[in-house]
Structure 1
Amino acid sequence: MPFAPCISVSDTAASLAFYRKLGFDADSSTARPGDDIHMLLYKGEFCAMIYRNADLRQWLPVLADQPIGFAGMFYLAVDDLDGVYEHASRHAEVVREMTTEETGQRMFYLRDPDGYVIGFNDKAALQASEMGKYAE
């Protein structure tokens, strides 16, 4: 899973209904009030996250002014997160410093020249977390 798109939407229920019509499934076990995020699956394989725009903007404020369709981020799981951070932070704007989430995942976020946000996370921590079932 080199990149994991996180798609910002205004109404997760409507978006999930749309994708289901196209043959997708969703795992909503990670969704909760204030964090309305759903894992989108196609033929049993993870392909993206659907995230309610209002919750996404709260979670990563750098996206607050971005319209739907442009707000979101890509994730990249890496083996040497500290090394990647050391190198990447010299060449890009870090918009969320290294954190450890309640799931045990370590990650940081940067912005590319076009404004897209990429979250880098520790591959081993990701695989060991509750989200590991989506990582290969």
Structure 2
Amino acid sequence: MKLKKLTPNLIVSDIPQTVNFYESVLGFELKMLVPDTQDGMDVKMDASKTYVYAQMAKDEVELMFQREDSFREDIPLSIKELSMGGLSAIYIEMSSVDDFYAEVKGKTENVTEPKNSWYGMREFFVKDPDGCVIAFGEQVEVEAS
């Protein structure tokens, strides 16, 4: 057995709002959408449709987004007591974190300034419209003490 890939599925309240945020603020590209009729897939947003799922990508990173009611319907586990967003976080390792921060900082108020951590990463954090925290980090040299 070999694990091949991990793609987070973030639970959201509004697919068009989420797609807009990840496109305009973080530079992700829309790959596909599933309407609530679940009778096919779209590659572009159609304002006359209501969507329950989207897939987006930037470079080698892929993310899935699913509307909360659709997720609860699809997953047959006892998840009724779980709340959406809040404690969700993902970490994306990248190169040129400062350049990417410069692109993002004027597009949302929910962003921290890049800082070097004690564990050797230069990172900043963004909060999306549903409260999920996305960390962007780049490995840096740690000064020996």
TM-score by length of 1: 0.44
Point out the structure with the larger strand share.
Answer: 1
Q: Which has the larger radius of gyration?
A: 2
TM-score by length of 2: 0.42
